[in-house]
Structures are given as C-alpha cells and as structure tokens.
Amino acid sequence: MEIIDAIILGIIQGLTEFLPVSSSGHLELGKAILGDHSVPEESLLFTVVLHFATALSTIVVFRKDILSLIKGALKFEWNEDLQFITKIAVSMIPAVIVGLFFEKQLESLFGGNILLVGCMLIVTAILLYLADKAKDTDKNVTFKNAFIIGISQAIAMLPGISRSGATISTSVLLGNDKTKAARFSFLMVVPLIFGKIAKDLLSGDLTYDSGNFTALSIGFVAAFIAGLFACTWMISLVKKSKLSYFAIYCLIVGVIAITFTLLN
C-alpha cells in the first residue's frame, strides 16, 4: 500500500468513525465514482489497525470518564459508574446478535449498492435534523434507552447509516441530555471495536508483511489524530445543536447518489 493511500484511509476512518456521515456509505460511493481499482482495498490487518487507532482516540478523549467508571465499578457497589457500564453492555446486545448471526447478509449489501446508500443517507439526514431540533434536557440514559440506542447501532451497520449519527440522534430523541448522549454514543462503541478486533485476530485470517509496516504505522497515526479531532469536535457540535449541517450534507449526497443510480 502506498503511503498516501494509508494517510487518506487513516484520515477517512478517523473522521467518519465519529462524524455523522457514514464511513461505509462514503466508501461505497467512492468505489462507484472512482472504480473498484481506483480505491485502495484495505487488508484485514490494515482495517484492524485503523479501528484500533480510533478506539484508542476515544479512550484518550474520555480518559477521565473511563478511569472514573473503572474506579467506581471496582467498589463493587450498584453505583452510577457500575450502572453506566451495565448500560453499555446492554447497548451492545443488538449489534452483537446482528454481527454473529447476520454477518453474511450484511456483507452482501456492501457491493456497490448505491441506491441503498443514498436512501440510508437520507434517513441519517432526517435523524440528525430531528435530533438537532430536540429540546435540551438533563435526563440520563436509562437501561431501556440503552437497549433502544443499541438497536439503532445495529441498524447503523447498513451502508449509509451513520453509527454516531444514529445513536446520538436516537438518544436525544428519547429525551436525553445532548452532551450525555454523545458521551454514551462514543463510549458504547469502544468494547464493540475491541470485540471485533479480537474476533479478527482469533480468526487466523490476518497476514503481516513487514514491507507494509510503514504504511500501517502512518495509517494508524493518521486515524488516531483524525479521531481525536473528530471526537472532540463532534461533542462540541452536539452541545451547540449544529447537527443540521451534517443533515444537509447527508441529504445532498443521498439525493446525488440516488440520482446517479437512476440515471445509469
């Protein structure tokens, strides 16, 4: 893999993991516009490295929160920290079920289905717009909310549905505080990412070529730095109710994708 390709893919992964624009949807659009051979194909190892980088950036941004949660949980009391961790576990259930039992069906949707991507981007746009108009509250995420948000995370496995956009919007539409919704959304994905990494490592499908060490390292750094920026920026945007900008963007790209499909 070329160095420039590693940098571009790293930045895309880092930004789109947190910004509500759907990384999977944009990758499918890129392939359709540039052609399959024009977009560098990510190896499984490179994908694992990039996901690890974005998970690490989340941990860095929320390091104080995570340490506080761990300390609180170690008291072995049914306190707020242990409850929050339990809610994270509850939110993972839908995505784990879909990932384990419907993996092949999901993979079949990632074959240049631009019409689906366009439609799902419009769905993302609607969710973001509605969430942006929601009233501010100080409500915490409940266990019921956690499971519903988890369902939205599972649905976000579809190309064109933004994971962060879907989970934050769902949380806000359920009446939760916007800042707390963003915090929960970003923290809930960390165990899933590490779970996916562990699954890939144990699969035995990973291959390492020492010649790709530089590209892997640069891709990791690019994804990590972009992730730090995107995660911090996204929290600020949610606080200031600026999700409508991304709603407009997703709507425009979605309409273009649908038009492109219908005219070809």
pLDDT at residue 34 tops 60: no
d(CA 68, CA 259): 49
Confidence of residue 39 (pLDDT cuts 50, 70, 90): very low
Contact (CB, 8 A) for 77 and 202: no
Please give the model's pTM, rounded to 2 decimal places. Answer: 0.83
Rounded Cα gap, residues 44 and 124, in angstroms: 27
Q: What is the pLDDT of residue 143?
A: 95
Q: What is the pLDDT of residue 264?
A: 75
pLDDT band at residue 32, thresholds of 50, 70 and 90?
A: low
The domain locations on the chain are 3-262
Measure the CA angle with vertex 172, ends 170 and 176; round to 5°: 120
| Mean pLDDT of the residues in the chain | 84
Task: Determine phi and psi for 165, rounding to 5 degrees.
Answer: -65, -45
Quick: pLDDT tens for 104-163.
Answer: 787 777 666 788 889 999 999 999 999 988 888 889 899 999 999 999 999 988 888 988
